[in-house]
Structure 1
Amino acid sequence: MFRGRRSTSHEDEQVDDADILASSVTSLGSRHYIDPEEQIATRAAWLYFVAGLTQAQIGKKLGINRTRVNRVLAQARDQGLVQINITGRLASCVELEDRLSQRFGLQEAVVVPTPPDQDMIPQVIATAAAAVLSQRLKNGMSVGVGWGRTLRLSIQSVPRRRLDRLSVVSLLGGLTRGSAMNPHETASHLADLLGGQCYYVAAPALTDTESTRNLLIAQPMLREIFERGAKVDLAFLSVGALTPGCTMSRVGLITRSEVDDLLRAGAVGDICAHWINVEGQLVDHPLNARAMALPPHYLKSIPCVVIASGGRTKAQVLHGVLKGGMCKVLITDEQAAKTILAMDPA
């Protein structure tokens, strides 16, 4: 791990106390394969965050244009090659953290500045979430995990270390087609990083009918997984907004007409593949009876439920999980935090 303090010119973003984790060599038997693209990304990250070069200087040194330098630095963040810890705390964020904790009885709230580029919200929240998760992981723990882009990015930034007797339990079924956000991939990646045992829900996240769901969940193997999920020490989850382009819709789990039906039923988003309203109650909709996932009411009895999500579109569903008592630790951004607090005035 490389540590360095970065102070840039006006043309580059300022980043302090950058922790750069560069793991670029993959062992293949007695040989070593080096990915050229990963090497460029790692070198660019080193030169930018540690050596203090500008993007223009890096481009000249590596023989690539500045547009590509910008792209590979973004790639380094997305792939977990770069992990950034900002030691200073913003007063405005601290105030929001205190208000959220007091209003909703949280163990902890972490609020990060909302980036100008809305597409970067999952990444900045993921960076903070990885630090919170890493601090709370202990030997002998059982960890339940959900799915989504923010969780995937978070786990990419969790440092690799071995914990004794640790288990990871997926809290919902998988997708029927390949996706980097597949719940199975999220759970297995975290288990691999920590040397833990992984337990999957060997079924789709959403069944075709309620009777199929009841038939599957009655099987001893799946019943055991859900029993494990209900008893985890820590759950690491995100939430999904309810919009035409939401994750559930993009991966083909729900249709546009089902989105409209859910909106009419009062749903504002989902947690663990279950649709809830702004007060944290399950809405009356057939999709909730088809979810192969841990029902949200079980989250209330889990000692620590960490939810990482943000952006204005997630404010209503985050308000729901907070009001419903399904969250103990919240990691979000300023924009979402202010919107949540405005929805529930003292």
Structure 2
Amino acid sequence: MTIRPADQIIHKAAWLYYAHGLTQDEVARALDISRASVAMYLRRARDTGIVTISTSTQLFAEDVLARRLEDALRLDAVWVVPDSAHSSDPTADVPIVAANVFMGLVERGSRIGVAWGRTVYTIADQMAHADLQGVTVVQLCGNLGAPYSYRPDECTMEIARRLNAKGLNLYAPLVLSTENLAAALRAEPVIREQLDGIAGCDLALFSIGTVDADSHVVNCGAVDARGLAELRAAGAAGVVAGRIIDARGEALDCGYNRRLIAADIDTLRAIPRRLVVVREDNKLEPLEAALAGGLCTHLVLGTRMARRLLEHAEKARAPAH
């Protein structure tokens, strides 16, 4: 369904009223229209069935910047979310839009691979409840031993709960102490079957991690700051589902990755639809690495990041003088 220009104001009013909980007076001030117009637009939204947030997300897919990014990066779909004027966090709307984009991609019988982190868990928390038949949610990487918010198992099971789906946790640590131990555990029939099952996913949801001192792999204890600095010096550019990637989007040849229990990069890349969601401004380099490696088909991001990404993409394509 294409949103006609005349309908955009209706979708915007519905988005602010239903998604953000603004009053009609606040919506009127935000859109610079009268309160009577807001009431009329909300009534029309209810009458035409466009009050659902999922249809309003089309506003962000039809943005000119989103279309330019799709062309420049050869992605299936991009949603560019304007900075929020109704929250102390300018990127607060990104998980809201992403949750509804994700719900729109889920189909009956879907097998979904889910990574972890604050962004993924926030998306799960924003998701509506659904009851689709035959949906399975699969954990893409091993778990963390110490208590940690946004753990892989928590993200997987919360999304499964929202979808009334079957959740499959990966019952192994994310990182082992030695490469031999990790190889032996990956060879165990139960773990091998779980890892092999990731290849059957038709949809994946993940964000991209940084390789700086505030990286989630440092905060969760998977690697210490010194070890990550060494990985950075060796070419690390980002983190995908717990795995370190280089600037080409390939798994970095390093001991950390060899001690990992997680989907490999080729398996992730083979999943037909790969929804990547990025909120933080410091994730341009890891996002570009993931895009270079073909790890993304669908992308949700904020306006500032979208502009920076497009600028870099157009510079890279410009002929050298």
**TM-score of the aligned structures, taking structure 1 as reference length:** 0.74
Partner of 1:19: 18
Query: Any conservation in 2 of the 1:17–1:84 contact (CA below 8 Å)?
Result: no
Give the fraction of aligned pairs with identical amino acids, expressed as a percent.
25
Would you say 1:233 and 2:233 are equivalent positions? Answer: no
Q: Tell me the secondary structure at the aligned position of residue 109 of structure 1.
A: strand
Q: Which runs of no fewer than 5 residues in structure 1 stay unpaired?
A: 1-13, 21-44, 55-82
Per the TM alignment, residue 94 of structure 1 is displaced from its structure 2 partner at its CA by 1.9
- The more displaced of 253-262 and 274-283 is 274-283
Q: Tell me the secondary structure at the aligned position of residue 343 of structure 1.
A: helix
Counterparts of 1:164-313 in structure 2, within 5 Å, are 164-313=133-282
Residues 117-170 of structure 1 show CA distances to partners (whole Å, capped at 9, x for unaligned) of: 998366322111101011111111111100011111111111111111111100
Query: Any conservation in 2 of the 1:299–1:327 contact (CA below 8 Å)?
Result: no
Would you say 1:49 and 2:22 are equivalent positions? Answer: yes
Distance (whole Å) between structure 2 residues aligned to residue 274 and residue 307 of structure 1: 15
Residue 19 of structure 1 aligns with an amino acid whose one-letter code is Y
Query: Any conservation in 2 of the 1:141–1:166 contact (CA below 8 Å)?
Result: yes
Larger proportion of helix: 2
Alpha carbons of structure 1 residues 119 and 245: separation in structure 2 relative to 1, 3 Å: farther
Q: Tell me the secondary structure at the aligned position of residue 180 of structure 1.
A: coil
Residue 285 of structure 1 aligns with an amino acid whose one-letter code is C
Query: Any conservation in 1 of the 2:57–2:97 contact (CA below 8 Å)?
Result: no
Per the TM alignment, residue 53 of structure 1 is displaced from its structure 2 partner at its CA by 7.7
Distance (whole Å) between structure 2 residues aligned to residue 118 and residue 19 of structure 1: 15
Residues 200-220 of structure 1 show CA distances to partners (whole Å, capped at 9, x for unaligned) of: 110111111111111111111
Query: Any conservation in 2 of the 1:297–1:326 contact (CA below 8 Å)?
Result: no
Q: Tell me the secondary structure at the aligned position of residue 143 of structure 1.
A: strand
Query: Any conservation in 1 of the 2:119–2:279 contact (CA below 8 Å)?
Result: no
Residue 294 of structure 2 aligns with an amino acid whose one-letter code is G
Distance (whole Å) between structure 1 residues aligned to residue 151 and residue 230 of structure 2: 25
How many residue pairs get matched? 279
Distance (whole Å) between structure 2 residues aligned to residue 123 and residue 50 of structure 1: 18
Distance (whole Å) between structure 2 residues aligned to residue 18 and residue 145 of structure 1: 30
Per the TM alignment, residue 179 of structure 1 is displaced from its structure 2 partner at its CA by 2.3
Counterparts of 1:312-331 in structure 2, within 5 Å, are 312-331=281-300
Alpha carbons of structure 1 residues 272 and 334: separation in structure 2 relative to 1, 3 Å: same
Alpha carbons of structure 1 residues 137 and 88: separation in structure 2 relative to 1, 3 Å: closer
Larger proportion of strand: 1
Q: Tell me the secondary structure at the aligned position of residue 204 of structure 2.
A: strand
Query: Any conservation in 1 of the 2:203–2:275 contact (CA below 8 Å)?
Result: yes
Query: Any conservation in 2 of the 1:239–1:309 contact (CA below 8 Å)?
Result: yes
Residue 124 of structure 1 aligns with an amino acid whose one-letter code is D
Partner of 1:156: 125
Alpha carbons of structure 1 residues 103 and 215: separation in structure 2 relative to 1, 3 Å: same
Cα RMSD between the aligned structures?
A: 2.7
Query: Any conservation in 1 of the 2:179–2:258 contact (CA below 8 Å)?
Result: yes
Query: Any conservation in 1 of the 2:116–2:206 contact (CA below 8 Å)?
Result: yes
Q: Tell me the secondary structure at the aligned position of residue 248 of structure 1.
A: helix
Per the TM alignment, residue 103 of structure 1 is displaced from its structure 2 partner at its CA by 2.0
Residues 86-139 of structure 1 show CA distances to partners (whole Å, capped at 9, x for unaligned) of: 668479x82221122112221101111245899836632211110101111111
Alpha carbons of structure 1 residues 88 and 215: separation in structure 2 relative to 1, 3 Å: closer
Per the TM alignment, residue 242 of structure 1 is displaced from its structure 2 partner at its CA by 1.4
Per the TM alignment, residue 190 of structure 1 is displaced from its structure 2 partner at its CA by 1.0
Alpha carbons of structure 1 residues 119 and 203: separation in structure 2 relative to 1, 3 Å: farther
Residues 44-85 of structure 1 show CA distances to partners (whole Å, capped at 9, x for unaligned) of: x8xx6357589xxxxxxxxxxxxxxxxxxxxxxxxxxxx977
Q: Tell me the secondary structure at the aligned position of residue 321 of structure 1.
A: helix
Distance (whole Å) between structure 1 residues aligned to residue 263 and residue 236 of structure 2: 18
Query: Any conservation in 2 of the 1:305–1:328 contact (CA below 8 Å)?
Result: yes
Distance (whole Å) between structure 2 residues aligned to residue 145 and residue 117 of structure 1: 29
Distance (whole Å) between structure 2 residues aligned to residue 121 and residue 268 of structure 1: 25
